[in-house]
Amino acid sequence: MIRISDRVGRVLGLALTLCSPACATTGTKSQATPAATTKAAAPTPAATPAAATPAAGTTPAAGTTPAAGTTPPAATTPGSATTPAAAAGDAKSLLRASLAEVGKGNLAQARALLDRARPLVRGDWDLEFRAANVAIAVFTNQGDYEAAARAILDAIRQRSGDAPDERLFTLHNWMAIMREAEGDLPGAIVACAERTAVGYEGSWEPAADRLKLTRFKDDWHRAYLFRMYAEQLTGSHRDAALLAAENARKDYVAAGGYPDSIAVLDALFAMYDHRWDDVRAAVHRVDVAKDDDEEDLYLLFTALDSAGDHEAAAAIRRHIEQNPPYWGVWRAWLKSDTDGTPPAMKRFSPRYPTGKRP
């Protein structure tokens, strides 16, 4: 569950409203919006390498895009004087325009606009955070998850030595999604551990909400990732992962986790165990029409489709595809899971956790 629009993604809903539909918040609800922060400009690191280029994410569009035909500002010419305020304004417009092009499927133009914006955001945490979000949208739709991960890592590095805050928490959450997208489940588990540490060590208020968010996300993702990882293991390694996954699921339930999030876990666990009646019962506990979390919806789709309920699964797929494709992870899995390729030749996804990694 990655809910950006009404969960962790509220952190993106400031002036730019750049939130993409899948910003990763599985098992959690809303998070307070932090105040924008600006830091003295640091030496500019090397730009993320250009990538050939596919989200969860996290998942349904939560932001608005500029009206069609809006022209982004022209790039600043060498030697011209640009005030910080003007540079920030240019960056905001470029990022908005880039995300709008992603929504229209114009990925080359989106990448060009992002590349123009990135030099203008250095030293402004708010803009760097938004630039990372737009980079994820561009690169995941192009299928280059490593480039998306690099963009997130660059933003994390820019915060080295700073007090842990909501943005750092969200960046590690996004990194977990990128590692999962790459089929690197141990890497996703590491990123989740980093996110959890930020949540517990942070000091942003209200503390009760921060600790609840951290606990819920930690329990839910441990259950989800451990259960998926168990499918890649054998012998006592598999048995240990299964035990850890079930314990984490029980922890989430005992902590008062959200009913839809519990149902998604139950459907996933039942799918891996081939308990098809339990899959159907779990999916039917979720009001799909009211669920705007693209990761939730993908997992419900794949569990139901695996159970042979193709018509009901197709309705969930249509619900996913009615939203702009801001994060490409779940759309890519939908496509590869159902492309007719024999199971033994499938690419990695939660449905095919032993498949070939991208």
Q: Is residue 352 part of a domain?
A: no
Structure confidence by residue, pLDDT tens digits, 198-226: 999 999 999 999 999 999 999 999 999 99
Q: Is residue 2 part of a domain?
A: no
pLDDT band for position 306 (cuts 50, 70, 90): very high
pLDDT band for position 326 (cuts 50, 70, 90): confident
Which one, of 96, 164, 91, 149, lies nearest residue 122 by Cα? 91
Interatomic CA distance for residues 214 and 354, integer angstroms: 29
Q: Is residue 133 part of a domain?
A: yes
Task: Indicate which CATH number applies to the domain containing 272.
Answer: 1.25.40.10
Q: Is residue 283 part of a domain?
A: yes
Give me 132's structure tokens: 């990372």
Structure confidence by residue, pLDDT tens digits, 33-56: 343 444 433 333 333 333 333 333
Beta-bridge mates of residue 356: 347
User: What is the count of structural domains for the chain?
Assistant: 1
- Bigger pLDDT: 80 vs 287: 287
Q: Percent of the chain beyond pLDDT 90? A: 70
Q: Is residue 198 part of a domain?
A: yes
Q: Which domain holds residue 179?
A: 8-33+55-69+86-345
Q: Is residue 78 part of a domain?
A: no
Give me 55's structure tokens: 């989200």
Q: Which long-range contacts (CB under 8 A, 24 or more apart) does 82-89 make?
A: 87/120, 88/120, 88/124, 88/127
Q: Is residue 286 part of a domain?
A: yes
Which one, of 283, 19, 321, lies nearest residue 170 by Cα? 19
Q: Is 42 exposed, middle or buried (0-12, 13-18, 19+ CB in 10 A)?
A: exposed
